[in-house]
Amino acid sequence: MKTITLIFAMAFSFIAKANDDKYIEVMSKNIDAVYKAQTADEIQKAVNAFDRIANAEKEKWEPLYYSAFGNIMLANRESDGAKKDSYLDLALSSIDKAKTIKPNDSEIVTMEGFIHMIRVTVNPAARGQEYSGKAFEAYQKALTINGDNPRALALMAQMEYGMAQFFKSPITSACATAAKAIEKFETSKPESQLAPMWGKGMTEDLKTKCK
């Protein structure tokens, strides 16, 4: 009887590993696709794939995270305010679900801040006070959870730079935060094969504006 139980345990273990390997393979393919996407259609295709994976893998936070990331990228390309908000609504819905699976995760909270930051761009004069405050609050929370998170620092720098430009004030703080973010990008190591890796390029672009 013990032998039969052991055989079943080994069989289930093998199946579980095979499923995990397939999940990582499919996710990695689509993460690479969303990172390299050049058009809205390519981004949307990746988002659709992440949504299908999320529906099949209801205990996994990564497909929800990357679906949100893709929708933010789509929002960032959109000039129509209503359509931009629609993409951001989808992103926030995914992040809210991800938070229930993995509460108090620095990367997920950072993505929530990213959503708020892009909300500002719909109408900076009308939305700046509310959504910039929400974005800063999210980035600060993300850094409280993990002070070495380069993406939280990178987006904080972007937010500080945008605020400085809007109010025509010095960009000193934004440049200092960007420098710290780049340092963390250089030293941080991914927690897994599916861990977020984006953000360094845009931070380096921001740093070139610091003289």
Tell which CATH classification among 1.25.40, 3.40.462, 1.10.150, 3.30.420 matches the domain 112-211.
1.25.40
Query: Which three-class secondary structure state does DSSP give residue 181?
Result: helix
Query: Which three-class secondary structure state does DSSP give residue 114?
Result: helix
List, for residues 66-82, the tens digit of each pLDDT value. 999 999 999 999 999 99
List, for residues 149-190, the tens digit of each pLDDT value. 999 999 999 999 998 998 899 999 999 999 999 999 999 988
Nearest to 95 by CA among 114, 77, 81: 114
Residues contacting 118, CB < 8 A, separation 6+: 72, 75, 76, 84, 88
Q: Tokens 């199946």, residue?
A: 15
pLDDT averages per 10-residue partition of the chain, 211 residues: 49 51 96 98 98 97 99 97 98 99 98 98 93 97 98 97 91 96 94 95 95 75
C-beta separation of 185 from 207 below 8 A: no
Identify the pLDDT of residue 110. Answer: 99
Identify the pLDDT of residue 74. Answer: 98
- Where does the chain hold its CATH 1.25.40 domain(s)? 112-211
Identify the pLDDT of residue 166. Answer: 86
In angstroms, the Cα distances linking 40 to 1, 50, 75, 76, 78 are 57, 15, 10, 10, 9
Query: Which three-class secondary structure state does DSSP give residue 1?
Result: coil
- Round to whole Å and give the CA distance between 82 and 91: 14
Identify the pLDDT of residue 20. Answer: 85
